[in-house]
Structure 1
Amino acid sequence: MREPAFWHRPLSWQSRLLSPLSMLYGAVAARRMAQGGIGAGVPVICVGNFHVGGAGKTPTVLALTALLREQGERPVVLSRGYGGRLPGPVLVDPAAHAAADVGDEPLMMAAHVPVVVSRARADGVGLAKAQGASLILMDDGFQNPSITKDLALIVIDGARGLGNEQVFPAGPLRAPLPPQLARTDALIIVGSGDAGDAVAARVGDAGKPVFRARLQPDAQAVAALAGRPLLAFAGIGDPQRFFRTLRASGLEVKAERAFPDHHPFSNDEIAALAAQAAREGLTLVTTEKDLARLRRAPSGRHEAAVSAFPVTLQFDDVAALRGFVAQRLSAARTS
């Protein structure tokens, strides 16, 4: 979906009009979050959001995967597989599955870490453990109570924050903020900007850590695209963040096209982008997540004409994060 602009403005007439629905949705969501879940038998780290839309969960999961492997762990990612048709549980195979099968984010992550997709998350625990998981990394699912979480890491974008801090549909929050904050163990703010400072202060006042991180573009991708005028397109939670990252890397973005998050590109849409790029002498560039949706799809015949722009998440104080995670895992295993 494409987020409405009023979600990121002070309380508007649209939000006030939708507030009765928001109160009902929030009450149901808060009551659901309070329910108990099953124990996985191994520690569970959840990487989630307070709100709908993207903030950098997938790069965070991949960065945590690397950090955990350095500590001798064998993480397996558990995802609902948003946008995929397979209910699971299924182990994602990049050589056999398409984004239409398992979702774009699981398909992208499966190139780096074992990923289990299960629409009912609790049903995927057994398959994740069968892959030799010493712990499970949940991609999203913070508000889902079906699995007990040993560590909940919440990711927000430093430039976007939490918008008007209203509950869906009056705003972007998936549940009222107080019960979400109560279940948060640490906050990760991605990128610059002060939009996340208020919630960071509330997390810090509760004695919980706040970690800062930034998206680091792949140096080889930057070098390959340098000096080439670009037509950038993206169907992610915040396409403008992708366009800003390209420009901040010194690249020349001549044209840009934004699509809704998880947008299933049609053959005609990609053909039109390719035709515009050829006509105007531009190079097509998109995110790794968007490129994953082109693979093994009808629109994928244009894949060779599209360059991916990989990014990785870099933490400002990785030693502090490493120590915090190790402490929580130790406590989970001895409790």
Structure 2
Amino acid sequence: MTALEKAWYRGSLWLWLLAPLALIFYLLSALRRLCYRLGLKTTHKVGAPVIVVGNITVGGSGKTPLVIRLCQWLKQQGYHPGVVSRGYGGKAPTYPYTVIADSDPGVVGDEPVLMRQHLGCPLVVDPDRVRGAAHLVNTHHCNVILCDDGLQHYRLHRDVEILVMDGERRLGNGKLLPMGPLREGPWRIDEVDFVVVNGGIANPGEHLMSLEIGQLVNLKYPSKTQPLSALKKPAMALAGIGNPERFFNLLKHRQVKLKETRVYADHYAFKAGDIPDDLVLMTEKDAVKCRRFAGSQWWYLPVSAKLTEQFKQQLLEKLHGL
């Protein structure tokens, strides 16, 4: 976490020096929204219901495990879902670009590869989410689209908006970028259909999501697994995610002895030589970028989202009403 990010969640007074920049950010954001409301900019429908899963803060909030779980659940309900993602950090040769389980994270981004490895449904990356969503409908015949991290991508018409919030950090100091972590003001919460809180305590009207851990998986030999409790010696933990402390605290809560923790930038492109030939624990998002040069003592910890029955029932009723 950078010094600026730490300040957002500690309420540092020096952030007021950034107030003029936050005002400019607000004015530009408000002008953009006004253009859509007045019809100067157009939203586009794609021929299938669209569920947008996003947040109003920068940094990790738990969108990826939620999208995975929603896709799995929608398939169980008889839908044929598809996922469109921006593909942050990737540089695909053409768009829309279809992601497969062994796609190169450098081409499509790390989160799309992670999602595709858990999903039996089409997934495309495209900075133009309208084009990507239309491709899923027209080419793959998907009858519901999940848009990963597109809450501010107003060109794409959405039928359901799901805002994901980190239950521990929530909205930080409640200020707009760069004075705070917000992409849009707190008022945006009242506009969405569902607020899903990842961990912590859900307020009235919010829906709690918990993350359940699986067994450690060896990067070099994926068929080799073990529970966290099987670790007998101190390990090094690393994380290149939006909120690395969440991962480290999870390990400590499970009584894992850590001799060192290393924080990398979110979406960091790991290289051979970055990680020692030692007992190393990492997130699954980081693991997809390290498999090509994995050491035999490197392990990742998968997590899966658990949703409340009330949330699933209300979402299903919303979809049936479209």
How far the C-alpha of 1:249 sits from its partner, in A, is 2.7
CA RMSD in angstroms comes to 1.9
In the alignment, is residue 237 of structure 1 matched against residue 242 of structure 2? yes
Note if contact 1:187-1:211 (Cα within 8 Å) is conserved in structure 2.
yes
Write the distance in 2 (CA, Å) between the matches of 1:303 and 1:107: 20
Q: Give the aligned partner of residue 305 of structure 2.
A: 313
Per-residue deviation, residues 265-311 of structure 1 (Å, max 9, x unmatched): 132312xx32xx2xxxxx1111110011224xxxx323544211001
TM-score normalised to structure 2 length:
0.88
Give the Å deviation of 1:17: 0.8
After TM superposition, the score normalised by the length of structure 1 is 0.85
Is the Cα contact below 8 Å between 1:30 and 1:176 reproduced in 2?
Answer: no
- Contact between 2:216 and 2:299, CA under 8 Å: does it hold in 1? no
Q: What amino acid is the match of 2:26? A: G
Would you say how many aligned residue pairs link Structure 1 and Structure 2? 302
Cα distance per residue 1:78-124 (max 9 Å; x no partner): 100000011520110233x2111000000111112221100111111
Superposition map of 1:88-107 within 5 A: 88-95=95-102, 97-107=103-113
Matched letter for residue 265 of structure 1: F
Percent of aligned pairs with the same amino acid: 33
* Structure 1 gaps, min length 5: 278-282
What SS class does the counterpart of residue 31 from structure 1 fall into? helix
Deviation at residue 213 of structure 1 after TM alignment: 1.4
Q: Would the aligned equivalents of 1:30 and 1:175 in 2 still touch at CA under 8 Å?
A: no
Q: CA deviation at 1:58?
A: 0.2
Pick aligned residue for 2:62 from 48, 56, 61: 56
Partner of residue 171, structure 2? 162
Question: Using a 3 Å threshold, how does the CA distance of structure 1 residues 286 and 264 change in structure 2: closer, same or farther?
Answer: same
User: In the aligned structure 1, how far is the partner of 2:10 from the partner of 2:288?
Assistant: 33
Instruction: Please say which of residues 248-257 and 37-46 is displaced more in the overlay.
Output: 248-257
1:253 maps onto 2:258 in alignment: yes
Matches within 5 A, 1:191-210: 191-192=199-200, 200=203, 204=204, 209-210=205-206
Pairing of 1:296-311 with structure 2 (within 5 A)? 300-311=292-303
State which of 169, 186, 190 in structure 2 corresponds to 1:177. Answer: 186
Between the aligned partners of 1:168 and 1:133, the Cα distance in structure 2 is 36
Tell me, what secondary structure is at the counterpart of 1:159? coil
Deviation at residue 219 of structure 1 after TM alignment: 4.1
Q: Any idea what SS the aligned residue of 1:323 has? A: helix
1:121 pairs, out of 106, 126, 129, with 129
- 1:24 Cα offset (Å): 1.1
CA offsets 1:188-222 (integer angstroms, 9 cap, x no match):
11112x5xx6xx4xxx5xxxx41101111004656
> Hey, what's the Cα distance between the residues in 2 that align with 1:75 and 1:93?
15
Q: What amino acid is aligned across from residue 67 of structure 2 in structure 1?
A: V
111, 134, 146: which one aligns with 2:155: 146
Check conservation: 1:32, 1:145, Cα contact below 8 A.
Answer: no
1:67 maps to which residue?
73
In 2, Cα distance between the equivalents of 1:304 and 1:137? Answer: 36
Instruction: Label 1:23 to 1:243 Cα distance change in 2 as closer, same or farther (>3 A).
Output: same
Structure 1 residue 218 and structure 2 residue 214: aligned? yes
Q: Which residue of 2 aligns with 1:29?
A: 29
- Gapped regions of structure 2 (runs ≥ 5): 37-41, 218-225
- Kindly state the Cα deviation for residue 328 of structure 1 after the two structures are TM-superposed: 1.1
Instruction: State the alpha-carbon separation in 2 of the partners of residues 181 and 324 from structure 1.
Output: 17
Letter in 2 for 1:330: H
| Partner Cα separation in structure 2 for residue 188 and residue 126 of structure 1 | 27
SS of equivalent to 1:267: coil
Deviation at 1:50, TM superposition (A): 1.0
Query: Structure 1 residue aligned with 2:320, among 315, 330, 333?
Result: 330
